[in-house]
Amino acid sequence: MVPGILRKVMPVATTIPKPNDDDDEDEYADKVGYSFAVEYSGPPLPYNIPRVVPVDVDEIPLASTLASASRLGAVPIIQPIVKSTLPSKKLSKELQEGESAGWPQLFSTADDFNNHPESSVTAGNSEIVEIPDDEDKDEPAGELQDCASPGVGESTKSHSFSCSVSSEIFSGNEDECADDEAAARHVRRPSAVTFRDPDSNDVVVDEDFDDASDAESSIPGRPTPAVRPGKKGTCYRCMKGNRFNEKEVCIVCGAKFCSGCVLRAMGSMPEGRKCVTCIGQRIDEARRKNMGKSSRMLRQLLPKMEINNIMTSEKCCHVNQLPPELVYINDQYLSEEELVLLQTSAHPPRKLKPGYYWYDKVSGFWGKEGEKPCQIISDQLNIGGHMRRDASKGDTGILINNREITKPELLMLQLLGVKCDGTNSFWVSADGSYQEEGMKNVKGKIWDKPGAKVICTLLSLPTPLDSNGSVSKERNGATILPKGLEQKLLQKLLLVGNRKSGTSTIFKQAKIIYNVPFSEDERESIKSIIQSNLYGYIGILLEGRERFEEECLAQTREHPIGESSSSDCGDIAGQIDTKTIYSIGPRLKSFSDWLLKVIITGNLETIFPASTREYGPYVEELWKDAAIQATYNRRDELPSLPRNATYFLERAADIAMVDYEPSDMDILYAEGITSSRGLSSMEFTFPKSPRDLCDHIGYQHDPSQRYQLIRAHPRTLGGNCKWLQMFEDVDMVLFCVSMTDYDKFTEDSDGVLTNNMMATKHLFETMVTHPKFEDKKFLLVLNKFDLLEAKNRACLTHSM
Ligand SMILES: Nc1nc2c(ncn2[C@@H]2O[C@H](COP(=O)(O)OP(=O)(O)OP(=O)(O)O)[C@@H](O)[C@H]2O)c(=O)[nH]1
Ligand SMILES: [Ca+2]
């Protein structure tokens, strides 16, 4: 499904930063680096280059389905993937230790996948694990109090997943709209219409309406379906053919006719596609979604003009209109006038069908009875009755315009930073401005809050239509996509992993690989982050310098010159006791003192990058200074210097400039770009693969297939993943594991040490066993493979 998404190529020799507390990889890692796939633009090569073969995820063998999480421990352990070119004595020993620790190695050796001669998909070895959970789990408790509100910057388009529409009316491939539960529950069946075979005059009674399910047959307004006189799949008139022949369907009784019979059975179609005996009858509501859409068969039989006329009558003739008495709003069925008012409003409900709905006149929220809102329609329409407090069956104790809201709505309010503790009743108007009940002043506008769109999209809640009409066009039915197609068009991928597992790096890579550029604003803030980070790294160096200088001075005091030849403190003649190779001049010293003070008081972000112009020149001078270089050479001894600091420090002078522009590589290496938000989202499509590649592998991406990649920090999921439900509509989880986590530990506030790999395993288990995730696909991304290899190499050299 996501061919090639993780095209990470490693290892590549680069200069490598040193480990630090926060992100220490291992002591050997500084000998090896990692790099990322970059498009080759040089001269043609005389030899064949290995290629990344897009993988059709459906083709990848799946690990056998696990019945229940409680049995995770009993899963047969499959040997981890070890690169055969590497001698792997130590590595496999370590991984066996991993096994005994109970890590379920569900990611089996994906032989077909990895041994493909041209496959260079790395990022560890990825495999899909499908783990449905058949245990009935309690719904996660709706404790919403301590929700951190991640400010979400990127906005995405909102997507509506609504009732399915099949584009053609054929027998055999009709997918009847089954989501009319609301309607199905309530409405009495209208008087039955019997089908009279046009030729035989026999009245036939429905017995085995082939593709109507129980739910469908109880859709209100459904006439009694016709009974096929012949065998299954045959034409209702000539009784010939089978289900693979195209057929046209009567929108009243569902009789299906082959191309040879359709015109005789349906005549001139003054009300659209109805058997002549059905003319004047109400249509089957389950077929409303197909109204006005001509089929291929008709297009082959009739001239275009004639088809247009038929389709217009089908849509517009009076008898085919939605019967107002089948639409209940706030417990009252509509009058004809009310239905017209509703359907001709600026923002009518999408694809209105018979059923029970609630409507909040004040805000325009609209939903099926007993459900969360699904759309925001025009406000202030005088239709239906009074909205009940329990219209959407919310159980949160919080009211909006007197309706008790549902959990996702409360979650949205909290994620958007609307304080719900002071009051439990809000008034929200159509433009999103809200106020507490009994208060005069407006507290803010929901839709103007940063991240409102992303959050609503994630929670499958509606957002208001944009006034410039791009969405309203869709609402008016012009560009409604069939459900199946719509879902296929946007696949949501949730990227998560334990902290420091590399999720933000993958997210940034995806942005670069799939050409989703950072906006002007984003680049500006990235630049600030990189520059502040740089001053932070310099601060760490300066602190180290002070320490080294003091140590040296102490040493020289204990062992005056001559005695200590082993000292690297290189005293300078005539300045004994005051100067060492770690000493700096007064100008740099005062800058250093000032910078360290800024860092200690936590003001770094506020002072930089605003002061870049002023302090930039010092950076260059400082970096060139021998004392700083000497300190930098001992960076192993500076535990707080992150690994990737080297990358930035070595270009310190350039980065500190006012006109510095971060390169893609800078962005990839920079810490803090995505993680500060906790939640980021981007949309992408696959670039078209070159022709010859497609010919070769016989596979081409669907260029219209869009993906949404959502990167969530584990803290966004809340303790024990209690917020995970807000991602319930993702199609796949990309779960990142840092393979170097197995010998790392994190200390919590109580001083308890947890192994990072065990923490990852716990997070994974919590996710796969979450009731809302039981049917999800999981792609396990084994990350930081280069560092694991480096460890392996180092161990081998060590033991030789
Ligand atoms: N050597 C190596 N380093 C990596 C790889 N992937 C990520 N890193 C580094 O590991 C560190 C953590 O990666 P991030 O992408 O920031 O991880 P994260 O999942 O966002 O973690 P948080 O910062 O806790 O949100 C960064 O310094 C990355 O540059 C990899 O494949 N190889
Ligand atoms: Ca990070």
- pLDDT on residue 107: 31
Angular region, 199: left φ>0, alpha ψ -120 to 50, beta rest: alpha
Q: Using omega within 30 degrees of 0 as the cis cutoff, is the peptide bond preceding 462 cis? A: no
With beta carbons less than 8 A apart as the criterion, state whether 65 and 131 touch: yes
Res. 50: pLDDT tops 90: no
Is pTM, for the whole model, over 0.90?
Answer: no
- pLDDT on residue 737: 97
Smallest CA-to-CA distance from 777 within 788, 768, 790, 766 is with 768
Q: Ligand 1: does its nearest atom lie under 6 Å from the Cβ of 791?
A: no
Question: Was 515 annotated as part of a binding site?
Answer: no
The secondary structure of 513-555, three-state, reads HCCCCCCHHHHHHHHHHHHHHHHHHHHHHHHHHHHHHHHHHHH
Tell me, what amino acid is at 331? Answer: D
At 637 the three-state DSSP class reads helix
Tell me, what amino acid is at 622? Answer: L
- Nearest residue by C-alpha to atom 10 in ligand 1: 502
Q: Ligand 1: does its nearest atom lie under 6 Å from the Cβ of 786?
A: yes
Question: Which tokens in the block code for residue 709?
Answer: 């990649």
- pLDDT on residue 55: 63
Out of 2-11, 133-142, 461-470, the most confident range is 461-470
At 761 the three-state DSSP class reads helix
Q: Ligand 1: does its nearest atom lie under 6 Å from the Cβ of 789?
A: no
Res. 763: pLDDT tops 90: yes
- pLDDT on residue 542: 94
At 736 the three-state DSSP class reads strand
Q: Which contiguous run of DSSP H or E holds residue 763?
A: helix 756-768
Question: From the CA of 167, how far away is ligand 1's center (Å)?
Answer: 46
With beta carbons less than 8 A apart as the criterion, state whether 592 and 542 touch: yes
Question: Which tokens in the block code for residue 368?
Answer: 């099926």
Res. 446: pLDDT tops 60: yes
Question: Which tokens in the block code for residue 797?
Answer: 């050299």
Report the C-alpha gap between 458 and 776 in whole angstroms: 16
Range in 114-123, 325-334, 489-498, 580-589 the model is least confident about: 114-123
Res. 309: pLDDT tops 80: yes
H helix count then E strand count, the chain: 25, 22
With beta carbons less than 8 A apart as the criterion, state whether 355 and 367 touch: no
Q: Write the pLDDT tens digit of every residue in 378-436.
A: 999 999 999 999 999 999 899 999 999 999 998 888 888 888 776 788 999 998 889 88
Smallest CA-to-CA distance from 505 within 680, 289, 303 is with 680
DSSP states along 220-283? TTPPPPP--SSSTTS-TTT--S-TTS--EE-TTT--EE-TTTHHHHHTT-BTBS--GGGTTSPP
At 184 the three-state DSSP class reads helix
**What is the atom index within ligand 1 of the atom nearest the CA of 675?**
25
Report the C-alpha gap between 165 and 160 in whole angstroms: 13
At residue 312's C-alpha, the angle toward residues 308 and 316, to 5°, is 180
- Whole-angstrom distance between the N-terminal and C-terminal Cα of the chain? 44
Ligand that lies nearest to the alpha carbon of residue 35, given by its number in the listed order: 1
Kindly report the average pLDDT of the chain as a whole number. 72
Report the C-alpha gap between 306 and 317 in whole angstroms: 16
Q: Is 84 exposed, middle or buried (0-12, 13-18, 19+ CB in 10 A)?
A: exposed
Report the C-alpha gap between 248 and 259 in whole angstroms: 8
Question: Which residues, in sequence order, are bridge partners of residue 747?
Answer: 753
Q: Ligand 1: does its nearest atom lie under 6 Å from the Cβ of 738?
A: no
Tell me the C-alpha to C-alpha distance, in Å, between residue 271 and each of 35, 282, 314, 320, 639.
65, 10, 5, 7, 80
Range in 206-220, 357-371, 585-599 the model is least confident about: 206-220
- Secondary structure letter of residue 571 according to DSSP: P
Question: From the CA of 293, how far away is ligand 2's center (Å)?
Answer: 50
Q: Ligand 1: does its nearest atom lie under 6 Å from the Cβ of 36?
A: no
With beta carbons less than 8 A apart as the criterion, state whether 392 and 373 touch: yes
Ligand that lies nearest to the alpha carbon of residue 713, given by its number in the listed order: 1
Q: Which contiguous run of DSSP H or E holds residue 619?
A: helix 612-624
Question: From the CA of 506, how far away is ligand 1's center (Å)?
Answer: 8
Q: Ligand 1: does its nearest atom lie under 6 Å from the Cβ of 501?
A: yes
Q: Using omega within 30 degrees of 0 as the cis cutoff, is the peptide bond preceding 348 cis? A: no
Q: Which contiguous run of DSSP H or E holds residue 375?
A: strand 375-376
Tell me the C-alpha to C-alpha distance, in Å, between residue 569 and each of 38, 539, 578, 592, 742.
44, 22, 11, 20, 39
Tell me, what amino acid is at 396? Answer: T
Smallest CA-to-CA distance from 764 within 745, 779, 785 is with 779
Question: From the CA of 144, how far away is ligand 2's center (Å)?
Answer: 26
**What is the atom index within ligand 1 of the atom nearest the CA of 785?**
31
Mean pLDDT, residues 295-317: 87
- pLDDT on residue 781: 95
Query: What Rg do the C-alpha atoms of the chain give, in angstroms?
Result: 33
Q: Ligand 1: does its nearest atom lie under 6 Å from the Cβ of 168?
A: no
**What is the atom index within ligand 1 of the atom nearest the CA of 29?**
1
Angle between helices 520-558 and 612-624 (to 10 degrees): 40
Q: Write the pLDDT tens digit of every residue in 156-167.
A: 333 333 333 232
With beta carbons less than 8 A apart as the criterion, state whether 284 and 221 touch: yes
ipTM of the complex: 0.98
Tell me, what amino acid is at 432? Answer: G
Q: Write the pLDDT tens digit of every residue in 260-299.
A: 999 999 998 999 999 999 999 999 988 888 888 888 899 9
With beta carbons less than 8 A apart as the criterion, state whether 227 and 204 touch: yes
pLDDT tier, 89 (very low <50, low <70, confident <90, very high otherwise): very low
Question: From the CA of 40, how far away is ligand 2's center (Å)?
Answer: 28
Report the C-alpha gap between 194 and 598 in whole angstroms: 85
With beta carbons less than 8 A apart as the criterion, state whether 497 and 738 touch: yes
Q: Ligand 1: does its nearest atom lie under 6 Å from the Cβ of 34?
A: yes
- Nearest residue by C-alpha to atom 2 in ligand 1: 784
Res. 342: pLDDT tops 80: yes
Question: Which tokens in the block code for residue 547?
Answer: 């320490």
Contacts of 445 (CB under 8 A, 6+ apart): 431, 432, 433, 434
- pLDDT on residue 680: 80
- Nearest residue by C-alpha to atom 9 in ligand 1: 502
Tell me the C-alpha to C-alpha distance, in Å, between residue 654 and each of 623, 663, 666.
11, 12, 12
